[in-house]
Chains A and B, each alone.
Chain A
Amino acid sequence: MKYIIFDAGPLISFAMNGLLDILEKLKKEFPGEFIITPEVKKEVIDRPLQNKKYELEGIKISDLLSRSILKLSSEFIKNPALEKETSRILNIANSSFKADKNISLIQRGEASCLAFSNLCGCENLIAIDERTTRMLVEDPDGLKKIMEMKLHLKITIDKQNIKKLNDFRFIRSSELLYIAYKKNLFNLKKDNILLDALLYAVKYTGTAISQKEIEELKKLA
Chain B
Amino acid sequence: MQEVDNIIRILRETRKALDKDNSYKIKLLSDQTIHTAAVYQDNDNVIVAVLVYAIGKIIERENYRELPGWREFYSSLIKNLELAISSLEQANLERFRDSEKNIRLAINRIDSKLKDYIEDIFKKARINKASKIYEHGLSLEKTAELLGSDLWDLSTYIGQSSYTGEVSESLDIKRRIKLAEGMFEK
A-side residues, CB < 8 A to B, are: 2, 4, 8-9, 12-13, 16, 29-32, 43, 47-48, 51, 53-54, 57, 97, 99, 101, 103-110, 123, 125, 129-135, 138-139, 142-143, 146-147, 150-153, 169-172, 175-176, 178-179, 183, 202-213, 216-217, 220
Contacts and interface: CB of A to CB of B under 8 A. Distances in A.
A31 B154 CA distance: 33
Interface stretch (B62-70, B85-93, B155-163): B155-163
A197 B154 CA distance: 21
A39 B21 CA distance: 45
Interface in B109-155: 134-142, 144-145, 150-155
Contacts of A172: 176
B1 interface: no
B164 interface: yes
Given A51-B150, A131-B167, A16 B155 contact: yes
Interface residues of B, number: 45
Given A43-B151, A51-B150, A206-B158, A220 B177 contact: yes
A138 B156 contact: no
A216 B174 contact: yes
A210 B166 contact: yes
A16 B152 contact: yes
B140 A130 contact: yes
Contacts of B150: 47, 51, 53-54
Nearest to B172: A216
Nearest to B186: A31
Given A54-B152, A204-B156, 4 more contacts: A16-B152, A107-B145, A210-B165, A210-B169
Contacts of B151: 8, 12, 43, 47
Contacts of B155: 9, 12-13, 16, 129, 205-206
Given A16-B155, A29-B184, A105-B142, A125 B179 contact: yes
B164 A208 contact: yes
A166 B141 CA distance: 21
B156 to A, nearest CB: 6
B168 A217 contact: no
B24 interface: no
Contact of B179 (A131, A132, A171): A171
Contact of A110 (B35, B40, B141, B158): B141
